[in-house]
Amino acid sequence: MGARRRARRASPDNLEGLVKVQLLVAGVVAAAATAPVVVSAPAEAARCLSGTEVRQQVATFVHGLRDDVKASDARVAARGAFVESVEAARGVKAETPEERRGLGEQISALARQLRNAPGLVERKALIAEIHALQEQKRQDHVSASDVRELKSDVKAVKRAIIAKVDTRAEGRQVAAFVHDLMDQFSC
């Protein structure tokens, strides 16, 4: 946390600092992922990441969960939920009938997978991903209530993951990552 405090005190000239988030497993550093720190000056907001950067950070974060979330299906679902939620909140929509049909098929496959999902993390992540894909399939604009629903789903995934981690420090790191990810919703 010392690095985060130093980053917050950074000068306005250095607004794009990154903090190394270390995932600790049984007192040993298991993985390190970089997460953007929201360092805001009075007149500026957080730096918006591209879709590729978001996918890369989510993949790195989810990879670091392999010791706590043992089921690979749950990790895949969590990765999909995080990425699709950011895309849906940013207003990515299906443009053609073929794209909408493809999203419908994806939603159906995820719903079938949800019926047999054994763990809480996987169930919450599948629900979040389904809601995000449904939002992308709809033809209307993304409203504030839609974004609140997406955030609520992502927070449910966060709580399920926090319930699986070993230490409170890991829980705080998961919460910090999800908080930073949700900041990307408004980009």
Q: For the range 113-121, what are the long-range contacts, defined as Cβ-Cβ under 8 Å and sequence gap of 24 or more?
A: 113/73, 113/77, 117/73, 117/77, 118/71, 119/71, 119/74, 120/160, 120/163, 121/69, 121/71, 121/74, 121/77, 121/78, 121/157, 121/160, 121/161, 121/164
33 belongs to a structural domain: no
Helix (H, G, I), strand (E, B) or coil at 33: strand
62 belongs to a structural domain: yes
Count other C-beta atoms under 10 Å from residue 85's C-beta.
29
101 belongs to a structural domain: yes
26 belongs to a structural domain: no
pLDDT at 187: 84
158 belongs to a structural domain: yes
Is 77:122 a contact under the CB 8 Å cutoff?
A: yes
| Residue from 93, 152, 102 nearest 124 by CA | 152
pLDDT at 61: 94
Q: What is the pLDDT along the chain (187 residues), one digit of tens a residue?
A: 444 333 333 333 433 332 333 322 223 233 333 333 333 333 334 588 888 999 999 999 999 998 889 899 999 999 999 999 999 999 999 999 999 999 999 999 999 999 999 999 999 999 999 999 999 999 889 999 999 999 999 999 999 999 999 999 999 999 999 999 999 998 8
| Tokens coding 84 | 């699709």
- Alpha-carbon dihedral sign for residues 24, 175, 103, 98: negative
Number of domains making up the chain = 1
70 belongs to a structural domain: yes
Residue 36, burial from CB neighbour count under 10 angstroms (0-12, 13-18, 19+):
buried
Q: Which domain holds residue 134?
A: 48-186
126 belongs to a structural domain: yes
Can you give the pTM of this predicted structure? 0.73
If you ran DSSP here, which 8-state letter would residue 94 be given? -
122 belongs to a structural domain: yes
